Structure 1
Amino acid sequence: MFLTLLDFDLENPSNSDHPFCFTYKVLLKLNPDTDEYEYLLFNCLFGIIECMDMLKKTNFPEYEKWKVRLVKNTKSVGLYGDIYELYIHWSLVRKNISFLKSERPDFTINWKGLNVFIECGSAQFDFNKIPSEKEVFRKLKSVIRINFTSGYLNTSTALFIDITNLMFHLSDFDANILSRALSAVDLELKRNPSNTLNEPGAITFMNFELIKNSSSQKYACSVTGSFLNPNVDPNLKSFLEENFIGGIEKPIVIKPKFNH
């Protein structure tokens, strides 16, 4: 399927340095009955194929762009940022939402006749690093701060951030770390104001997880926490509540078992 949809051969030695091949080699050594096998299979391989197959059927030009982008990105940290953005792209298509793929912000969405926007980001450490809890907190603040000072966010824009990697590295994940990081960044920026400071209308943190119960299991990207700016564009608030954050005022946070 990788060869068909991505023109990428997982068994070609010339591709051995690509994260896709690394994951494939790890899978070959794992027991297929384990949770880790299932997670890696869906998060790093089959999930991508499902997204790309839908894009190929619904928007071939965008499919072609994503195919080139995923194959060219040979850095694990960068690739998983791309996978997260691809997942959001796939989610919008699956929900039959009218949108345009753009750059900065990543998605321009027509919602009830008006435009709202999504910018995607991810907070990750290189896979060979085991960060301390202080480093995790600093990384989270850094990702928020970079986006706040990017110059293109506004109250009609939602900032979506994948924090799977950070959650994995925290020994005891507490959702309060998200609000603490936001407060810390807000205080720092007020002390050292920037001419390009632009706060988004909302920030939504997400994480990838393999969710299991007694009768089934599924691979999903879940909302870890969401924060609305008091000045949020009402149309953006409506879009988020109807499509992404409805009913998650008190989300149940499960620490990811595996890194990505």
Structure 2
Amino acid sequence: MPKKIFEFKLNELANRVKLLGVDLRREDHPLITRLIEAKNLYDKDKSGACAHACYVQIVMEDLDKIQRHDLKLFQCFKREIRRNPLPPENYFGLRMEIRMAASLTDKKTSFTKSETPDFLINDVKNLGIECSSAHLSLHSSHDAKELFYKVEANIKKKEQSCFSTRNTILAIDISNLIFHEGKNAMFALLYDKDKARPRLTSIINRSVFQSIICFTFAWVNADNKPSFGATLHCLYHRADRLNIDPQVESFLNKHWPLGDLWVEANIKEI
């Protein structure tokens, strides 16, 4: 992508973030940080720069979907996203909630925003979805065992909550490690079916949750050519408890089918 076009699109994204009420001078804000990274990376790494820009673009598009579906919920997310300060650990959980709300909207699933859990599924009695995030430092060893540890620790933390639903699905955002490594790291680190699924199943069987779905944003070179920029995929991997409730399993099979690695419907390119 020519630099002038990239800069034009990046400026458009910055203006959309500004319309949310986020001061563009807030360099510590997660969205502003992405925009700055995109601008600074372009000359050295076009794919990486476009991936950062795509990340912001998908946030904006998710919020657009929510705004068209439920203005009150959009206003709620808008207030949260412009909080000052907005620590990364708070932002990633919020981002997962925004992604889930947009995903449920795309799937034409009737839901109600709640607290514990974050979403109530209106068409399935006593079913909720709790959102969370489990993140690794970019300076970590990027070892799969460390990622499993983070997921398990996150589940244990969430189990301390008192959920209003009998059956709860846990949706965990694990983006930051995978995002920076690219799509191939999905297979290398977590989504090896022979290693990951037994470990994840063991973790979920020891928990109160019916299922866990790990979500991540990961980039690939557009048209397999780095000079063309990058496409950002929203990916997920699901693991169920062995005695999963049949109604929950049916709901999941319809909306997030089992598989080694699946791509959500939205694939964006800048």
TM range, normalised to the smaller chain?
A: 0.7 to 0.9
Question: Given that residues 51 and 86 in structure 1 are in contact (C-alpha distance below 8 angstroms), is that contact kept between their aligned partners in structure 2?
Answer: yes
Note the C-alpha offset of 1:152.
2.4
Corresponding residue SS for 1:7: coil
Q: 1:234 to 1:184 in 2, by over 3 A?
A: closer
Question: How do 1:165-244 residues align onto structure 2 when only pairs under 5 Å count?
Answer: 165-167=176-178, 172-175=188-191, 176-177=195-196, 179-180=198-199, 183=202, 199-211=208-220, 214=223, 218-224=231-237, 226-244=238-256
Give unmatched runs, 5+ long, in structure 2.
1-15, 264-270
Note the C-alpha offset of 1:239.
1.1
Give unmatched runs, 5+ long, in structure 1.
190-197, 254-260
Q: 1:204 to 1:132 in 2, by over 3 A?
A: closer
Question: How do 1:147-162 residues align onto structure 2 when only pairs under 5 Å count?
Answer: 147-152=158-163, 156-162=167-173
Note the C-alpha offset of 1:64.
0.9
Note the C-alpha offset of 1:141.
2.1
Partners of 2:158 and 2:200 lie apart in 1 by 13
Partners of 2:222 and 2:146 lie apart in 1 by 33
Partners of 1:209 and 1:173 lie apart in 2 by 13
| Identity of matched residues, % | 24
Aligned counterpart, 1:163: 174
Corresponding residue SS for 2:122: strand
Question: Given that residues 70 and 79 in structure 1 are in contact (C-alpha distance below 8 angstroms), is that contact kept between their aligned partners in structure 2?
Answer: yes
Q: 1:42 to 1:202 in 2, by over 3 A?
A: same
Aligned counterpart, 1:56: 67
Corresponding residue SS for 1:179: helix
Query: TM-score scaled to structure 2, two decimals?
Result: 0.73
Q: 1:145 to 1:132 in 2, by over 3 A?
A: same
Query: TM-score scaled to structure 1, two decimals?
Result: 0.76
Q: 83, 91, 99: which is aligned to 2:111?
A: 99
Q: Deviations over 1:165-204 (max 9, x none)?
A: 3446889414324532553686xx6xxxxxxxx6111112
Which letter maps to 1:250?
D
- Is the aligned partner of 1:140 residue 2:154? no
Count of residue correspondences: 233
Question: Given that residues 214 and 236 in structure 2 are in contact (C-alpha distance below 8 angstroms), is that contact kept between their aligned partners in structure 1?
Answer: yes
Q: 1:35 to 1:211 in 2, by over 3 A?
A: same
Corresponding residue SS for 2:189: coil
Q: 1:23 to 1:123 in 2, by over 3 A?
A: same
